[in-house]
Structure 1
Amino acid sequence: MKVSKPVCPDCARKELDTVKRIRDYLKPKERRNAPVLQVSQDLDIPVRYIEYLIREKYFDLTRYPSMQYKCKNCNTLITLGEYCSSCAEELRKNLLSTNEDAGKNNKDNNDPDGNFYKTRL
């Protein structure tokens, strides 16, 4: 049986029921802009689980603009991905500099046998 998520059918059903509860809660206009913390408190659903559901794209953020969650690094409110744009750019720069440093280290070592063993470890 092909499954779209690595969870059992009962857990998938519970997840969809939770999404329906949140959508029903946010349906009235006066609650449409309720922050995640308020939704969590009123429905007794953990904030981290609501954030997970937002990341999994269960909510149209144009319709529910308050459904934001915190960046994993700096806690800025975001609506897409794991990191805000500034943290993502900083991570990208760090990765690029690490790759450049690794490339320089490989060029400095001209021992052909040494590289043979390093590439296989």
Structure 2
Amino acid sequence: MGELKNCPSCGDFFNYTGIRDVCNNCAVNEEKLYETVYRFLRKRENRAATVERIVEATGVEEALLHKWVRKGRLQPAMFPNLGYPCDNCGKLTTQGKLCISCTEELKSGLRQFEAAQEFREKVSKPEVTYHKNQRI
């Protein structure tokens, strides 16, 4: 059973089942726009077109192009200048939610945090020294 949602494109109510994130009318319109973009990109001279060039030539919104790349409908392997913005810095990426530099920065920060945590644990543990009682 789906849930009633507002279509983010037109504002109408639709039954959201998890398959499409827009109403049926907007989905049909998006599909027509997708066909327009795909016909444009299939031409050899347009395969290396940037997102800005595709928007200019087809009139499709940039957000829609990003959505199609995210969902895998437009493959960056076939169209090398396509991508979607990194959730952190906005630089174009082709996989995941973060670009490579933000991913590396995050990993570096985690390594530093883990090293600092290890150090704090080591320092906070009292060193126990056992002395053997010697009789003189």
Write the distance in 1 (CA, Å) between the matches of 2:50 and 2:21.
Answer: 29
Q: Which of the pair has more CA radius of gyration?
A: 2
Write the distance in 1 (CA, Å) between the matches of 2:35 and 2:26.
Answer: 14
The alignment of Structure 1 onto Structure 2 pairs a total of residues equal to 101
Q: How many percent of aligned residue pairs carry the same amino acid?
A: 28
Partner residue of 1:48 out of 63, 66, 80: 63
Write the distance in 2 (CA, Å) between the matches of 1:69 and 1:59.
Answer: 11
| Structural RMSD (CA) | 2.7
Where structure 1 has 5 or more consecutive residues not aligned to the other structure, the ranges are: 102-121
1:9 maps to what in 2? 24
Ranges of 4+ aligned residues in structure 1 off by more than 2 Å: 72-77, 88-97
TM-score (norm 2): 0.59
| DSSP 3-state at the match of 1:13 | helix
State the Cα distance separating 1:19 from its structure 2 match.
1.2
Write the distance in 1 (CA, Å) between the matches of 2:98 and 2:18.
Answer: 28
2:86 maps to what in 1? 71
Partner residue of 2:99 out of 84, 92, 100: 84
State the Cα distance separating 1:11 from its structure 2 match.
1.7
**Are residues 1:24 and 2:39 paired?**
yes
Q: Structure with the greater relative contact order (CA < 8 A, sep ≥ 6): 1 or 2? A: 1
TM-score (norm 1): 0.65
Where structure 2 has 5 or more consecutive residues not aligned to the other structure, the ranges are: 2-16, 118-136
